[in-house]
Structure 1
Amino acid sequence: MTKKHKVLAAAGALALIAGGGSAAYAYWTTTGSGSGSATNSAGGGTVTLHANFTGGLVPGSSKVVTYTADNPSTTTSTQVGELTASVGTDKAGCLPEWFDVTAVTSHTTVAKGDVGTVVGSGTLTFKDSATDNQDACKGAVVTVSVGSV
């Protein structure tokens, strides 16, 4: 390209711009959505529940049961849900159905690290059977198992 042609090309470009030439541009539009997630800590973990009552049950008697909880967590408190309780014995012939146990829940929060927090109460009753010989329960160890849902 000669010098003359370069000058003509430059002049033509200037004439286009001065005469209303325009630059072109383009863009796209779009739509979208998204989400994110993360898993929280498991929370208060597991508490250890206890059923506490005095010995000495005889047919026809009842004992108060106090339910307590220990929370070994060092990071968070937890609340105990509805309590469930059942009775077992260590002697054959001493039937669990001869006993009734109740569990009234207090929905108490058990603070992190707490031991022995009262979370409910109830009654353990040794029913007096008029038809069954209940001698098998003499000296038996009666166990109240407690759970929470």
Structure 2
Amino acid sequence: MRKMTNKNKVLAAVGALALVAGGGGAAYAYWTTTGTGSGQATNSVGEGTVTLHANFTDGLAPGDVRTVGYTADNADPNTSTKVGVLSATVTTDKAGCDSAWFVVTADTSNTTVAKNSSGTSVGSGTLTFNDSATVDQGACKGAVVTITVGSV
């Protein structure tokens, strides 16, 4: 390796000083301006609703407990929707078959239902046909038991 002479050292120092001075001057240059602006976009026109379903096996008899699966369909092609707290009630189609003999639960899942989808699992629960030792529950033979499910 060659040794650097004094002349080369001076030239290197002057070159470095020129670079720093040139760069330093550029650091102080700036533009000033004022202005305003705005922007806008239209959100999709999603309905934000889903169709909920309760699914359980038939053949209930007094004392039976069935697992209930809750699913949701979202027909909106633009927007996914979140299903929050589930609520469920029981009705029957036969006179004398008291819906109070049935207990239904619905566990909340806070599930997002994708746009344009169907059959998304959104929770589960149980359906119990309470057995009464004092009342004849024969009116429920052949009855259609319906679970109505809602969400907030």
Q: Higher Cα Rg: structure 1 or 2?
A: 1
- The two structures, once aligned, show a CA RMSD in angstroms of 1.7
Kindly state the Cα deviation for residue 105 of structure 1 after the two structures are TM-superposed: 1.2
Unaligned runs of 5+ in 2: 1-40
Kindly state the Cα deviation for residue 97 of structure 1 after the two structures are TM-superposed: 0.2
User: Structure 2: how far apart are the matches of 1:108 and 1:48?
Assistant: 14
Which amino acid is the alignment partner of residue 139 of structure 1? G
Which residue in the other structure is 1:100 paired with? 103
| Equivalenced residues, count | 113
Which residue in the other structure is 1:147 paired with? 150
Kindly state the Cα deviation for residue 128 of structure 1 after the two structures are TM-superposed: 0.3
Which residue in the other structure is 1:113 paired with? 116
User: Structure 1: how far apart are the matches of 2:47 and 2:86?
Assistant: 17
User: Structure 2: how far apart are the matches of 1:88 and 1:39?
Assistant: 43
Asked if the contact 2:44/2:78 (under 8 Å) is kept, the reply is no
Asked if the contact 1:94/1:134 (under 8 Å) is kept, the reply is yes
Which residue in the other structure is 2:63 paired with? 60
Unaligned runs of 5+ in 1: 1-37
Q: TM-score, normalised by structure 2?
A: 0.70
1:80 lines up with 2:83 in the alignment: yes
Kindly state the Cα deviation for residue 146 of structure 1 after the two structures are TM-superposed: 0.2
Which amino acid is the alignment partner of residue 51 of structure 2? T
Which residue in the other structure is 1:12 paired with? none
Map Cα deviations across residues 79-130 of structure 1 (whole Å, 9 max, x no partner). 0010000000000000000000000011110000110000000000000001
Which residue in the other structure is 2:48 paired with? 45
Secondary structure at the residue paired with 1:97?
helix
